[in-house]
């Protein structure tokens, strides 16, 4: 989203790596400066801030753009934000296409930093703000839970493969059983910690509203709150659907139609997976989702297409519950239908 609320006097592009960063800046209608390299340390961040202060321009009139490359950008972005600079964190794909539009063939950190400064001046992406503490408390536990689930699946697969042999060593099977049981306990402990972290935060009420809907459990609701920053990242349900990657994308050019619209692989993949898995339950127990899904299947839609459409509907329902702080009402649609004749009269 473009930010036109500030008259920026300096645009800074920073290309980040695991141990270093490269920065370059430019004034409006100017050319990028020679890039400088710094260390990914507190001293390196302070040195960059000192170089920017030497320009004589206030931090609030300086827009710094970084790519969301792994987690390497976080510490620098927080340091610059706390120093008063406007910091924008963009999708690396946006930067990639901007670089391609300049027909640049070579790729170096210095060139990337300069082009990020040009991107800042041309697109003026909206400033970023650090998320609240509850975001970190919940997100890191959710990510750790995903890792434990992957290890548990691997251990279960190993146990299953072991049992196919005509001779099974009891000690080996016992080791795998103990690993699986330990992972079960750790997953349950993380889920309890997630619930406790949310219960004492500002996200407690939207969590209760989300989980009031059949099909949306603690984990799905937590991913929704983390992935959308408590529904602050998107202006409405349609924008949220596109952000998650559940909006069908048409492929047309002239008279050529390249298949039916499909959801593709863009958007927040982890949040999309959470919604899709929640839909498996919602199509059985959520009245609105169940009726919608059954209507699509009766019209001949394949199961996966119907489930993706049901996931979009569930996401719209989650938006209404979470953003408006409402509890799920299974009779909501019925009440609307009964009220229509009265309104018409």
Domain boundary among 123, 147, 168: 123
CATH classification of the domain holding 36:
3.30.420.40
Q: Is residue 249 located within the same domain as residue 327?
A: yes
Residue 247 lies in a domain: yes
Residue 3 lies in a domain: no
Residue 319 lies in a domain: yes
- Cβ–Cβ contacts within 10 Å for residue 125, how many? 20
pLDDT at 341 over 60: no
Q: Which pLDDT band holds residue 2 (cuts at 50, 70, 90)?
A: low
Residues in Cβ contact with 190 at an 8 Å cutoff, skipping those fewer than 6 apart: 141, 144, 145, 148
pLDDT at 344 over 70: no
Please tell me which residue, 55 or 249, carries the higher pLDDT value.
55
What is the model's pLDDT at position 303? 92
Q: Which pLDDT band holds residue 264 (cuts at 50, 70, 90)?
A: low
Q: Is the pTM of this model over 0.75?
A: yes
What's the mean pLDDT in 154-159? Answer: 98
Tell me how many helices (H) and strands (E) the chain has: 13, 7
Place of tokens 């202060």: 53
Q: Which pLDDT band holds residue 262 (cuts at 50, 70, 90)?
A: low
Q: Is residue 29 located within the same domain as residue 88?
A: yes
What is the model's pLDDT at position 253? 66
Please tell me which residue, 256 or 324, carries the higher pLDDT value.
324
Q: Is residue 147 located within the same domain as residue 235?
A: no
What is the model's pLDDT at position 331? 75
Please tell me which residue, 342 or 141, carries the higher pLDDT value.
141
Alpha-carbon separation of residue 318 from 215, 296, 299 (angstroms): 10, 20, 25
3-state helix, strand, coil in the chain (%, to 5): 60, 10, 30
Domain boundary among 123, 148, 175: 123
Q: Is residue 239 located within the same domain as residue 297?
A: yes
pLDDT at 80 over 60: yes
Q: Is residue 35 located within the same domain as residue 105?
A: yes
> H helices within 163-262, ranges in order?
170-199, 204-211, 218-228, 237-244
Whole-angstrom Cα distance, residue 169 to residue 174? 9
Residue 190 lies in a domain: yes
What's the mean pLDDT in 22-43? Answer: 93
Residue 211 lies in a domain: no
What is the model's pLDDT at position 332? 66
Residue 338 lies in a domain: no
What is the model's pLDDT at position 335? 41
Whole-angstrom Cα distance, residue 234 to residue 239? 6
Residue 81 lies in a domain: yes
Bridge partners (DSSP) listed for residue 15: 22
pLDDT at 340 over 50: no
Q: Is residue 197 located within the same domain as residue 234?
A: no
pLDDT at 70 over 80: yes
Across all residues in the chain, what is the average pLDDT?
90
Q: Which pLDDT band holds residue 6 (cuts at 50, 70, 90)?
A: confident
What is the model's pLDDT at position 329? 87
Asked whether the CA dihedral 130, 322, 246, 286 is positive or negative, the reply is positive
Q: Is residue 16 located within the same domain as residue 118?
A: yes
pLDDT at 220 over 80: yes
Q: Which pLDDT band holds residue 209 (cuts at 50, 70, 90)?
A: very high
Q: Which pLDDT band holds residue 71 (cuts at 50, 70, 90)?
A: confident
Please tell me which residue, 345 or 303, carries the higher pLDDT value.
303
Instruction: Count how many domains the chain has.
Output: 3
Q: Is residue 104 located within the same domain as residue 165?
A: no
Q: Is residue 326 located within the same domain as residue 224?
A: yes
Q: Which pLDDT band holds residue 104 (cuts at 50, 70, 90)?
A: confident
Residue 269 lies in a domain: yes
Residue range of the domain that includes 54: 10-123
Q: Is residue 91 located within the same domain as residue 160?
A: no
Domain boundary among 89, 105, 123: 123
Q: Is residue 222 located within the same domain as residue 329?
A: yes
Alpha-carbon separation of residue 47 from 8, 11, 38, 135 (angstroms): 22, 17, 8, 29
Residues in Cβ contact with 59 at an 8 Å cutoff, skipping those fewer than 6 apart: 52, 53, 83, 84, 85, 86
Please tell me which residue, 117 or 29, carries the higher pLDDT value.
117
Q: Is residue 173 located within the same domain as residue 257?
A: no
Q: Which pLDDT band holds residue 339 (cuts at 50, 70, 90)?
A: very low
What is the model's pLDDT at position 105? 86
What is the model's pLDDT at position 336? 42
């Amino acid at each position: 989203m473009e930010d036109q609320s500030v008259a920026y006097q300096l645009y800074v592009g920073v290309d980040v790596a695991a141990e270093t960063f490269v920065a370059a800046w430019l004034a409006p209608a100017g050319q990028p400066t020679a890039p400088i390299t710094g260390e990914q340390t507190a001293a390196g961040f302070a040195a960059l801030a000192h170089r920017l202060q030497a320009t004589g321009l206030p931090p609030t009139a300086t827009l710094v753009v970084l790519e969301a490359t792994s987690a390497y950008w976080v510490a620098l972005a927080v340091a610059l934000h706390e120093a008063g600079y406007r910091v924008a964190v963009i999708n690396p794909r946006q930067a990639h296409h901007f670089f391609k539009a300049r027909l640049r063939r070579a790729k170096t950190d210095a060139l990337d930093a300069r082009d990020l400064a040009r991107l800042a001046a041309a697109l003026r992406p909206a400033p970023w703000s650090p998320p609240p503490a509850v975001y970190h408390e919940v997100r890191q536990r959710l990510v750790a839970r995903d890792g434990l689930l992957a290890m548990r699946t691997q251990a279960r697969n190993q146990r299953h493969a072991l049992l196919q042999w005509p001779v099974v060593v009891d000690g080996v099977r016992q080791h795998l059983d103990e690993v699986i049981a330990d992972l079960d306990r750790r997953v349950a402990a993380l889920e309890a910690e997630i619930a406790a972290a949310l219960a004492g935060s500002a996200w407690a009420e939207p969590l209760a509203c989300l989980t009031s809907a059949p099909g949306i459990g603690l984990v799905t609701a937590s991913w929704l709150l983390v992935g959308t920053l408590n529904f602050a990242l998107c202006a409405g349900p349609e924008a949220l659907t596109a952000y998650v990657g559940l909006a069908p994308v048409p492929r047309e050019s002239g008279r050529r139609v390249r298949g039916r619209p499909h959801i593709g692989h863009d958007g927040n993949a982890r949040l999309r997976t959470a919604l899709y898995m929640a839909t498996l339950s919602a199509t059985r127990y959520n009245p609105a989702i169940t009726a919608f899904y059954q209507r699509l299947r009766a019209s001949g839609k394949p199961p996966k297409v119907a489930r993706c459409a049901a996931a979009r509907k569930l996401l719209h329902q989650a938006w209404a519950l979470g953003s408006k702080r409402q509890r799920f009402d299974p009779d909501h649609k019925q009440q609307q239908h009964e009220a229509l004749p009265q309104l018409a009269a």
